[in-house]
Amino acid sequence: MSKKETGEKLIANNKKAYHEYFINEKYEAGISLAGTEVKSLRSGKCSIKEAFVRVEKGEIFIYNMHISPYEKGNIFNKDPLRVRKLLLHKHEIRKLAGEVSQAGFTIVPLRVYFKGSLVKVEIGLAKGKKLYDKRDSIAKKDQRRDAERKYKISNLYS
């Protein structure tokens, strides 16, 4: 199924996460928000570039997720960088907590999107890349881009 069939509308994407980390597993989590935050998200005002996720006391929270204040929200607006609770099943939280306690694993937000009328956050269980891994992935991306360019040119002149 395509994104349109499932009713998903992308709000924010974290491209930097794919450059900085190897993503092992992905989870879809709900997020606890105030009404004005949802209205601000509908207008696409969200950033997760500097955001990170922590497990604390059996609950999971997202930090540094910036949701701009809603223009017409006046006194109902919340702090743009406040800590927000993510909604996952308890067994998923326990599994993530066990994985993060191992060396080198962390949880990073990958994207924020609407699924129907609900706001969802895709989080990934990730392991940090070393500098040589980053160089390797950049080289592979360049090779793929060159191959696509050559293929496109050969199809234009045939």
Residues 75-92 as b/e (b if ≥16 CB within 10 A, e otherwise) read eebbeeeeebebebeeee
The H or E element that residue 5 is part of is helix 3-6
The H or E element that residue 106 is part of is strand 105-115
| Domains held by the chain: number | 1
What confidence score (pLDDT) does residue 59 get? 87
| 89 φ/ψ angles, rounded to the nearest 5 degrees | -70, 150
What confidence score (pLDDT) does residue 158 get? 59
Domain assignment of residue 141, yes or no:
no
Query: Quick check: 74 pLDDT over 80?
Result: no
Domain assignment of residue 157, yes or no:
no
What confidence score (pLDDT) does residue 50 get? 84
Domain assignment of residue 105, yes or no:
yes
Burial of 38 by CB count in 10 Å (0-12 exposed, 13-18 middle, 19+ buried)?
middle
Nearest CA to 59 among 105, 83, 28, 93? Answer: 93
Query: Quick check: 3 pLDDT over 70?
Result: no
What confidence score (pLDDT) does residue 147 get? 83
Domain assignment of residue 142, yes or no:
no
Owning domain of residue 45? 3-129
What confidence score (pLDDT) does residue 84 get? 85
What confidence score (pLDDT) does residue 2 get? 54
Mean pLDDT (whole number) for 105-122: 86
Q: What is the pTM of this model?
A: 0.71
Instruction: For residue 109, give the CATH number of its domain.
Output: 2.40.280.10
Distance CA(37)–CA(154), nearest Å, equals 49
